[in-house]
Amino acid sequence: MLNDNPVIEVHNLTKTFHAPGKGGRTAALTDISFRVGPREVLGVVGKSGAGKTTLLRVLSLQMPPDSGTLNFGGTTIEDSTPRSVVRDVTRRTSTVFQGFSLLYNRSVLENVALPLKLRKMALTERTQKAREMLDFVGLKAKAEAYPITLSGGEAQRVAIARALVTDPQVLFLDEPTSALDAQTSREILDLLKKAQRNYSMAMILVAHHLDVVRYMCDRVLHLEDGAVRRMGPIRNSVDFRVDPIEALWGTPHDV
């Protein structure tokens, strides 16, 4: 997968935040470089505060880095990049946020169709596409329901359908199963696997539960204090003698 042209390539990303009492700024990301291949599933792990969500927000162009370069399938995004180019790149990605982020005054169908409405797709066409996507995630019967009436697993399926409806090349996922019980988590992960196969996209997945990373990911990136501590392919067997995060890798330091 990495031998193909990468869908995302980042070099020396740095991001700081204003932090009163900490000398003015705190570094959330420091000198981050890596590539993600087409159809690759990359896990991002690390302790609370390591910079995982910040990395997803920078990669999904929700916030700019302080320095470093971001390249999406050959298009480099930097300060001087025209907004139309940034918008085109943004449209090639989707995000499944922690906590679903559904609009509670819109029906399930309207939620899923919303990204297409924002792209000015005609009503009939976007409604049909949203219905197809609800069918794909197993929620055809809930099209007219409102999010308040859904279980956590159903709400996450709607969020996934909404993310997939635009055919993204890259799907960003921030803790997609953190609010769900074990059985529902497994169903959501299987749905994501099916989506990744059907739609041939790359995924970048932040997860606290290492079982989730082991089940889903081809490679894993370990962030520590905002820097890449280690990155490489996941190993199948677990060596319980070592740190659980360290046990995810087979070969050392394959960045």
Ligand X SMILES: Nc1ncnc2c1ncn2[C@@H]1O[C@H](COP(=O)(O)OP(=O)(O)OP(=O)(O)O)[C@@H](O)[C@H]1O
Positions in the binding site for ligand X (CB under 6 A): 17, 26, 28, 46, 48-54
Neighbours of 254 (CB within 10 A): 11
Amino acid, single-letter form, for residue 173: L
- The nearer residue to ligand X, 53 or 128, going by C-beta atoms, is 53
d(CA 208, CA 205): 10
Sheet of 202-206, strand order: 93-96, 170-174, 202-206, 41-45, 219-224, 227-233
- Residues 253, 78: contact at Cβ < 8 Å? no
Which of 231, 235, 238 has its CA nearest to residue 250?
235
| Inter-residue contact 39 to 1 (CB < 8 Å) | yes
The residue (of 50 and 150) whose beta carbon lies closer to ligand X is 50
Task: Pick the closer one to ligand X by CB: 51 or 147.
Answer: 51
Q: Among residues 34 and 136, whose Cβ is nearest to ligand X?
A: 34
Question: Least distance from C-beta 211 to ligand X, angstroms?
Answer: 16
For the chain, how long is the longest CA-to-CA vector?
57
Q: Which residues of 19-32 are buried (b: 16+ CB within 10 A; e: fewer)?
A: eeeeeeeebbbbeb
Residue 51 vs 115, nearer CB to ligand X: 51
For ligand X, give the closer residue by CB, 28 or 216: 28
Q: Give the bridge partners for 230, in sequence order.
A: 222
Closest approach of ligand X to the CB of residue 232, in Å? 19
CB of 95 to ligand X, least distance (A): 14
Minimum separation from the CB atom of position 252 to ligand X (A): 23
Instruction: Write down the least CB distance from residue 141 to ligand X, Å.
Output: 34
Shortest CB 1 distance to ligand X, Å: 25
CA distances from 196 to 47, 171, 172, 187 (A): 27, 9, 12, 14
